[in-house]
Amino acid sequence: MDALSSLSTVRELVSLGEDAYLELASLALERARELENGEAPIHAFLSLVEEPPPFRGTLSPVGGAAAKHLAGVPVAIKDNICTLGLPTTCGSKFLKGYVSPYAATAVRRLEEAGAWIIGKTNLDEFGMGSSTENSAFGPTRNPANRERVPGGSSGGSAAAVAAGVVPAALGSSTGGSVRQPAAMCGVVGVKPTYGRVSRYGLVAFASSLDHVGVFARSVPDAAATLEVVAGPDRRDATSRRLDLAPASASSPREPSEVLKNRSIGVPAEYFGDELDYGVRRVVERALETLREAGARLIPVSLPSTATALSCYYVVAPAEASANLARFDGIRYGRRADRVRTLSETYFRSRGEGFGDEVKRRILLGTHVLSAPQYEAYYLRALELRRRVLEDFERAFRTADALFAPTTPTVAFRLGEKQSTPAEMYRADIFTVAANLAGIPAMTIPIGDDGGMPVGGQLMCPAWEDEKMLRIAAALEARLGYVHPLAGEA
Ligand code: GLN
């Protein structure tokens, strides 16, 4: 077993004491640096610590329960989540070199559980994109095939876990940025219920859709990491006073018991024309596995699926246009040189600081919120959003959970969709609905198509994250499939 591939291998080594910890920590850093080498670097990280923090013992410094114990575990953090010490750039020229004066709640909780931050990971600028090609600092490549994208926008975190640098990482999801890259890189990705993890310190993209999520190589590891970061936070009014049940609840002890007689809804709209044939085959095999394990597969319908993507691309840009107004060249980030007037400061700082996709979203968002368009677009989109919610409510009346593909295709080639934004947006077609509804959703690796990983998506009713994790752990155990570490094969 690779030393850095799971929380339990790391824990075991760290429990041997300081020498073992330091050896493991340098191995993680060495691997992280290696991702920058060669003609086609993976480029998962935008910044790395110079050296690991000193050994702090084998117990969590803030004496949490054993399950919360992440002592000595290196973790990677998406670069739109604030950390002390390392810059938080959001993949934008605007924030190049910006160091936050405070740490995100999720980051603080990881550190309190004993984990250490190895570095900040690459992303599409401000989380806007599906391939990590919209980073101002160059794209990340997929560890499974360097000619392909890792997905996005949390491509760096997904790649860091897939390449075996860290056993767990944080990302953010507004429309699918945890599940989509996790599926494309062959790792587990969880977007919890909206309000489960504090957004304090996550740089806002679209506040009603933004979530902090986790990446890991197995469901129990993702559950353990989520358990550490989840929970109420007085700094985020949308976080709820509800703790996540201990991660041990999702350990795959009795997969057959968890799956037996479980009703799993299969949404017809997720198996339409846009679903690639190779991906469909792998998903159908996973459905077969669920059936063999005693689950009852029931067809369900989510008619709003076809409009959910359009709804998302009105609501998200609308909120983004308001959130990104704070980047004005005065309060945050870079200011254009030699500006003479206030309006010139705004125009030039924003014009030079933001990349094309961010500008496109701001224009779109400002347009749909403008007085003549507000009703036709924004209010209409809010109506559609309600229908997405109602569809899920109806489906969950008969199904405990839904199972579907995470992405319509495996990871595509670098550059393939960059000149056609609408094509790029379609990469999120199966993930945006769960963000619009705020329900928990996750992906696990279920196989591969031509060597490229395929993800299977589970969705559950709001606040039933534990149930989702238990079903996922049982399916994972039953499938016995783990995508190989890059270079392992
Ligand atoms: N790809 C989607 C977008 O570009 C979702 C991004 C995200 O979840 N951060 O908006």
Q: How many CB atoms lie under 10 A from the CB of residue 12?
A: 13
Instruction: Look at residue 247 in the predicted model and tell me its pLDDT.
Output: 58
**Would you say the CB of residue 175 lies under 6 angstroms from ligand 1?**
yes
Mean pLDDT, residues 429-444 = 98
Ligand 1 pocket test: pick from 428, 430, 436 the residue with the most ligand atoms within 8 Å of its Cβ: 428
pLDDT at residue 61 tops 60? no
Are the C-beta atoms of residues 150 and 455 closer than 8 Å to each other? no
Distance CA 430, CA 425 (A): 11
Q: How far is the CA of 178 from the centre of ligand 1 (A)?
A: 9
Q: How far is the CA of 172 from the centre of ligand 1 (A)?
A: 9
Exactly one of 6, 60, 68, 78 is catalytic; name it: 78
**Would you say the CB of residue 407 lies under 6 angstroms from ligand 1?**
no
Beta bridge partners of 116: 74
Q: How far is the CA of 154 from the centre of ligand 1 (A)?
A: 9
Which SS3 state, helix, strand or coil, does residue 216 take?
strand
Q: How many CB atoms lie under 10 A from the CB of residue 278?
A: 16
Distance CA 164, CA 76 (A): 11
pLDDT at residue 65 tops 80? no
Catalytic site includes residue 96: no
Q: With bands split at pLDDT 50, 70 and 90, how would you rate the model's confidence at 241?
A: confident
Mean pLDDT, residues 182-202 = 97
Kindly report whether the peptide bond that precedes residue 60 is cis, defined as omega within 30 degrees of 0.
no
pLDDT in tens, 106-132: 999 999 999 999 999 999 999 999 999
pLDDT at residue 205 tops 70? yes
Instruction: Look at residue 253 in the predicted model and tell me its pLDDT.
Output: 59
Q: Is 293 left (phi over 0), alpha (psi -120 to 50) or beta?
A: alpha
Mean pLDDT, residues 167-177 = 98
Atom index in ligand 1 nearest the CA of residue 312 equals 10
Q: With bands split at pLDDT 50, 70 and 90, how would you rate the model's confidence at 244?
A: confident
**Would you say the CB of residue 131 lies under 6 angstroms from ligand 1?**
no
Instruction: Look at residue 164 in the predicted model and tell me its pLDDT.
Output: 97
Atom index in ligand 1 nearest the CA of residue 435 equals 8
Single-letter code of the amino acid located at 232 = P
Exposure string of 343-356, with b = 16+ CB inside 10 Å and e = fewer, is eebbebbbeebbbe
Q: With bands split at pLDDT 50, 70 and 90, how would you rate the model's confidence at 250?
A: low
Q: How far is the CA of 290 from the centre of ligand 1 (A)?
A: 30
pLDDT in tens, 74-99: 999 999 999 999 999 999 999 999 99
Mean pLDDT, residues 212-241 = 93
pLDDT in tens, 127-152: 999 999 999 999 999 999 999 999 99
Atom index in ligand 1 nearest the CA of residue 209 equals 8
Ligand 1 pocket test: pick from 78, 130, 435 the residue with the most ligand atoms within 8 Å of its Cβ: 130
Q: How far is the CA of 370 from the centre of ligand 1 (A)?
A: 23
Atom index in ligand 1 nearest the CA of residue 176 equals 8
pLDDT in tens, 327-369: 999 988 889 999 999 999 999 999 999 999 999 999 999 999 9
Mean pLDDT, residues 452-473 = 97
Q: With bands split at pLDDT 50, 70 and 90, how would you rate the model's confidence at 486?
A: low
Residue whose CA lies nearest to ligand 1 atom number 10 = 128
Compare 42 and 66 and report the one with higher pLDDT.
42
Instruction: Look at residue 489 in the predicted model and tell me its pLDDT.
Output: 46
Exactly one of 100, 135, 153, 239 is catalytic; name it: 153
pLDDT at residue 62 tops 80? no
Atom index in ligand 1 nearest the CA of residue 128 equals 4
Q: CB within 8 A of 417, min separation 6: which ones?
A: 130, 131, 423, 424, 427
**Would you say the CB of residue 129 lies under 6 angstroms from ligand 1?**
yes
Instruction: Look at residue 63 in the predicted model and tell me its pLDDT.
Output: 46
Average pLDDT along the chain: 94
pLDDT at residue 31 tops 90? yes
**Would you say the CB of residue 317 lies under 6 angstroms from ligand 1?**
no
Q: How far is the CA of 34 from the centre of ligand 1 (A)?
A: 28
Catalytic site includes residue 177: yes
Helix extents (H) in 329-379: 342-353, 356-369
**Would you say the CB of residue 134 lies under 6 angstroms from ligand 1?**
no
209 secondary structure, DSSP code:
T
Which SS3 state, helix, strand or coil, does residue 353 take?
helix
Instruction: Look at residue 383 in the predicted model and tell me its pLDDT.
Output: 98
Compare 240 and 355 and report the one with higher pLDDT.
355
pLDDT at residue 291 tops 60? yes
Compare 11 and 489 and report the one with higher pLDDT.
11
Q: How far is the CA of 170 from the centre of ligand 1 (A)?
A: 15
